[in-house]
Amino acid sequence: MMGISTWGTVQAAQPSEWVKGRLVVQTRAGLPDTELAEILKPHGGKSRRIGKTDLFIIDLPPGMSEQAVLSQLEHNPHLKFAELDAIVKPAFVPNDPYLGSEWHLAKIGATTAWDRSQGTGVVIAVLDTGVDASHPDLAARIVPGWNVYDNNSNTADVTGHGTAVAGTAAASMNNSVGVAGVAGAARIMPMRICDLSGNATGSSIAQALAYAADHGARVANISFGGVPGNSTVQTAAQYMKNKGGLVVVAAGNNGINENITPGTTMISVSAVEQTDVKTTWSSYGNFVTVAAPGTTIWTTTRGGGYGQWWGTSFASPVAAGTVALMMAARPDLPNTTIESLLTSTAVDLGTAGRDAYYGYGRVNAAAAVNAAVAATASTSDTQAPSVAITSPTGGASVSSVVAVNVSASDNVGVTRVELRVNGSTVATDTSSPFAFSWDSRTVANGSASLAAYAFDAAGNSKASSAVSVGVSNAVAADTTAPTVQITNPASGARVSGTVSVKVSASDNAGAAGIRQSLYIDGGLRATASGASLSYNWNTRKVSHGSHTIQAVVRDAAGNQTATTIQVSR
């Protein structure tokens, strides 16, 4: 699986399957679209932004090798990462037709938790194969979602997996029908991310996360294997986390140590048996955050029925439902506090403390909700982040697009870093490592002052020490002539008395460099700097007949334009 490198390149194992003719990249904050186009131009690539993030899907021309292009892009200093668009599959074991009981609800103390919270007011985005919105145990829970695979609003379930996942998280409760989800009063936002075979991609998941985060979802569940180590999904998950949400994902069903670097963007869930022992098929590793029941989960099935399912696909929505209960119980708590309480109240299994099989332990909905209810409203965080620009260094000479690296940390967490040049914000980055691409051509040659401002969730901020750099960009020759118009009198007019002659001019480099000269019958009568010239002409002193008025303008580069009119007295 792929991981985010320190400053913009990915060195990682290749996924077993990926979308042909496509890559996914994350640009540094502030990289102009024109510069990304230049980066892609040698490869014939075309970019498509994912939501409001800095993630881009790169479509390559037919016949172009994704791996060959990746080997070039992953070393580009203006890209945080580049990776193949991995194909991921649902993390489930085929369902059993025999009935069972919802043992998992009692195991995690859900029935006790329901005395204090049932998930009301919380929207859970189910990123999956779609959801059967007509199911009697789901119909009342559905809010509009999106089909990112077909780019339309049809979120009908194409395989049945998504309906089972949705029911595990939030099937209706107290309706005298079927089963109850962990958070039976929460809402379900169906997000179809897959093809008709049930296969999704890193980019489709990222698109769905961005959509869900922008449309009110507080929790997102992703029951697909291979997700926790995907850089594209990690970035999109951080986008949702920055907007107050939490992303819960399946650890996978490979039964091996996935060797994924632990991260903070997602809650990764392994699966346990009824005896609180990890299942033989559940993936594990230091990335696992918590464990949850994942065998014989009795839930909704496509077509209005019910059945039992197995897999980390179902451990994940058990945890997601628990998060929804906590958020509903205390909507005022920050998502980071909810996550901390989820892990601190988990039933510790295996080796004491966090371990590779169970993370912090098996989720305990009763204890988690009680802890959320009892939590003191967070005392005011008054500690500002620390921040420094690590490159470029002071006194450096820069040109064109400049890579600016920033180090920022906080006692709770940095939510964003702004890069300011000469006091103006030019880009904002919301995910670590904080890295920018600043187009130095937007300022004049000479000294420029760079400063980074780091912010935390409490609104505390701190500015880095200013870094002064010397901007030295080649100045393109100005060959565009200014424009000029005699606005009064009109050409062909008959004049008498004192006439106000008015001239208006403009130039591509601005009015400051314009020099104007006014001639009447070949004699220089007036000069002016800037966009306008005005001269009072006493026509009583000139002969009757035709007279020529000419305006000549010259810009700072020496380009010149003239215009002439004829008037009569």
Contact 35, 41 (CB under 8 A): no
Catalytic residue among 117, 270, 313, 437: 313
Report helix, strand or coil for 472.
coil
Which residues, listed in sequence order, are joined to residue 549 by a DSSP beta bridge?
A: 520, 565
Distance CA 82, CA 73 (A): 6
The 3-class SS string of 1-37 reads CCCCCCCCCCCCCCCCCEEEEEEEEEECECCCHHHHH
Catalytic residue among 85, 117, 161, 231: 161
Helix pair angle (312-329, 161-170), 10° resolution: 40
The secondary structure element, H or E, covering residue 449 is strand 446-456
Annotation says 439 is catalytic: no
The secondary structure element, H or E, covering residue 104 is helix 103-107
Distances (CA, A) of 392 to 149, 353, 422, 436: 41, 41, 15, 11
Q: How far is CA 485 from the centre of its chain?
A: 48
Distance CA 60, CA 66 (A): 8
Catalytic residue among 43, 54, 78, 128: 128
Annotation says 128 is catalytic: yes
Burial 399-422 (b: 16+ CB within 10 A, else e): eebbbbbbbbebebbbbbbbbbbe
User: How many CA atoms does the CB half-sphere of 517 hold within 13 Å?
Assistant: 11
Helix pair angle (335-344, 365-374), 10° resolution: 130
Annotation says 506 is catalytic: no
Helix pair angle (312-329, 365-374), 10° resolution: 20
Active site residues: 128, 161, 313
